[in-house]
Chain A
Amino acid sequence: MAVTKGVILVGGPSKGTRMRPLSLDCPKPLLPVAGKPMVWHPLSALAKVPELTEVIIIGFYEDAVMSGFIKDAKREYPNLAISYLREYRPLGTAGGLYHFRDSILRAPVPQNIFICNIDVCCSFPLAEMMDVHSKHRGVGTILGVNVKRETATQYGCIVHDPETSQVLHYVEKPESWISNMVNGGVYLFDKSLFDEIKVAMDDKTARAAEDPLIQSDEILRLEQDVIVPLAASRKMYVYQTNDFWRQMKTAASAVTASSLYLSRFLKNRPDLLAKPSSSIIAPSYVDPTATIDPSAKIGPNVAIGPNVTIGAGVRVKDAIIFEGSTLEQHACVVHSIVGANCQIGPWARVDGEPEPEKDTKGQISVTVLASEVTLAPETHVRSCIVLPNKSLSRSSANQVLL
């Protein structure tokens, strides 16, 4: 089998603002989802691909931000070369890839390159994508996902030939409905991708020279600037997954993604999950350094981080509790995220609604407490976003608390 490499695009601090307030304290790629940093999920999927020699993470976070994760990842996957490459100037997703082409293509020279966006949560059916990819003569294979008609235009829409899986047409976030199949944010490209990016770059420069309305900048986006022309020249194919898939752009979506990954762990990584007991309902993740009172009830779909303390009679369901937080006796946390080092008083309640499929502007579903938030005993915070270091002594609903 040919050498394969993986690239994970993690963006940077100026991106992912919709992940606020969580991303104010914790860089998005490192946000814990199902007990693991977001970036771990694509990485662990890539690690299972046979002949995959190297994973390169590209973003514009400082090296120090990612170094801890890279160290841990190397320990977990000793046979894999893992590195973080930092972009210093915004080049766009395709521009960034091209900028680091020498690093990606260095020996062992890969025949194929997986590219994963950080903000998708899915089963990463990489073996299936490889299977499709190896049977066509195109440049790339996209992971295609069927979504509801009313949400399709939020994504890159794909029209394909169901017989051949060839992509016939691709439009990023169209104004009107085109198809229910959308871009899942995971790609497998032949190494000739870099030639195609070069063509797209030259093309853009040429157009900018002719048309003063087109801005001449260095930014080149993978979807609009590369995949669109590749689709038009019939060089793209699609592998359609019927497995779970969600976009992870908002803090609320982390709860959904966490529960999807936890359910998946039931099948493929039960070793990562907390053992079901009188107080733990599967699937749940409990960090070994967390303390859980035996009278508490945790789960399903709960991820509890390091050094968390869960008091007597506490209830946690459909929630993520970040490291160092304390939930005092009889507190109840449902459909919520509790940031790092929060203090939830006795009988306090933190709850929200499940994340809706389509966002309604101004409506908060999941409650998100950022780090170091203190909630007084018996207070109730419902469908709120609470910024860091707030001390709440009164109940609140449906608002952002600055």
Chain B
Amino acid sequence: MKALILVGGFGTRLRPLTLSWPKPLVDFCNKAMILHQIEALVKAGVKDIVLAVNYRPEVMVSVLKKTEEEFGIKITFSVETEPLGTAGPLALARDILGKDDSPFFVLNSDVTCTYPFEAFRDFHLSHKCEGSIMVTKVAEPSAYGVVVTKPGSTAIDRFVEKPVEFVGNRINAGIYMFNPSVLDRIELRPTSIEKEIFPQIAADGQLHSYDLAGFWMDVGQPKDYITGTCLFLSHLTSQHSPLLSDPSKNKWVYGGNVLVDPTAEIDPTAVIGPNVVIGQGVKIGPGVRLQRCVILSNAVVRDHAWIANSIVGWNSNVGRWVRVENITVLGDDVTIKDELYVNGASVLPHKSISSSITEPRIVM
């Protein structure tokens, strides 16, 4: 089986993190975002993965080389010379996606969920139509495209973009499965799969929707990355995952949903949680208080610092008695001097901050 992951461009929405690493390699809950997806695809029997990219960073090539070997799969970079939208990349990768009759997955690289690809595959095969769309229920559908099915059926009747009136609360989750015949509907030009291709397939009665169980989040920007992290951690908790730190064995865990890399060093007087991810080689000092935040690998959080709702970049150093909050994102190798207050700052890599940032802003 085959899959195409829509990676796209430079991930500007996730800057300053994506100034140092290509977006698919930015860790999400201590694993590169794209590895979550690749592992789930491999579990569903995928052997061929195409990454639709605008550019091909060397670092990504070398990381994925290892992944290929580890899982015994083939990963191909399909590089767009001009932006092709969400459908064009399928036409560009036609040789791989259409090389046999088996269906293929398509997914947006910014989406996190439980990736139930096996069940999705089984669903797709059972209805024998051309395409399947994963849908997720949201509380406020008016900001999205709502998927409306025919009464008593999974067959999609129509799409309503940003509905004013309530027509349903199932929205496109950005994960699809198609038979190769869909490639005949797509030309090699900038095309939106959602706006131009889906309505056609639905009109032919060939598109079905599959209800995604559990959480779903587009984690393409920092605020949602943090929310998505919390959802993922809650999922791990509901699964009684051994990856999470056990509060009964670690007295510094507060409120649960705490994921810590085994190589991280945590002072026992720190209080961590709920909803915290601590990466490889991170050092957390005495009396540190962390909640709803992500500390990326090799960062240091020094004594009595307080961090909430923020992302601390790789190799960064948060000084003593510093308070960081409100969707602050520190890029790679950022230093915050002792006792400062950092409110909603986006700090570009290699900066040293020596005075408080009291209102949200970008520090170049």
Seen from chain A, the residues whose Cβ lies within 8 Å of a Cβ on chain B are: 312-313, 315, 317, 329-330, 332, 334, 347, 349, 351, 378, 380, 382-383, 397
Contact = CB atoms under 8 A, between A and B. Distances in A.
27 contacts: A312-B287, A313-B269, A313-B286, A313-B287, A313-B304, A315-B304, A315-B320, A315-B321, A315-B339, A330-B304, A332-B321, A332-B323, A334-B339, A347-B289, A347-B304, A347-B306, A349-B306, A349-B323, A351-B341, A351-B356, A378-B289, A378-B306, A378-B308, A380-B323, A380-B341, A382-B358, A397-B358
B97 to A, nearest CB: 51
B303 interface: yes
A141 to B, nearest CB: 42
Contact of B339 (A330, A332, A397): A332
Contacts of A317: 339
Nearest to A395: B325
Interface in B297-324: 303-304, 306, 308, 320-321, 323
A377 to B, nearest CB: 9
Interface residues of B: mostly helix, strand, loop or mixed? loop
A165 B341 CA distance: 48
A382 B357 CA distance: 12
Choose among B306, B308, B325, B356 the residue with the greatest number of A CB atoms under 10 Å from its CB.
Answer: B306
Interface in B324-357: 325, 339, 341, 356
A88 to B, nearest CB: 47
A351 B356 CA distance: 10
Contacts of B320: 315
Nearest to A313: B287
B95 to A, nearest CB: 56
A347 B304 CA distance: 8
Nearest to A314: B304
The winner among A332, A349, A351, A378 for most chain B CB atoms within 10 A is: A332
Contacts of B287: 312-313, 329-330
Among A317, A329, A330, A380, the most chain B Cβ lie within 10 Å of the Cβ of: A330
Interface string B161-175: 000000000000000
A343 B173 CA distance: 49
B306 A330 contact: yes
A313 B289 CA distance: 12
A216 to B, nearest CB: 52
Given A347-B289, A382-B341, A397-B358, A313 B303 contact: yes
Name the 8 nearest CB pairs between A and B, nearest first. A313-B287, A315-B321, A332-B321, A330-B304, A330-B287, A347-B289, A313-B304, A349-B323
Contacts of B325: 380
Contacts of A349: 306, 323, 341
A329 B286 CA distance: 11
Chain A CB within 10 Å — which of B304, B306, B320, B323 has the most? B304
B289 A330 contact: yes
Contacts of B306: 330, 347, 349, 378
Nearest to A315: B321
A293 to B, nearest CB: 11
A351 B325 CA distance: 15
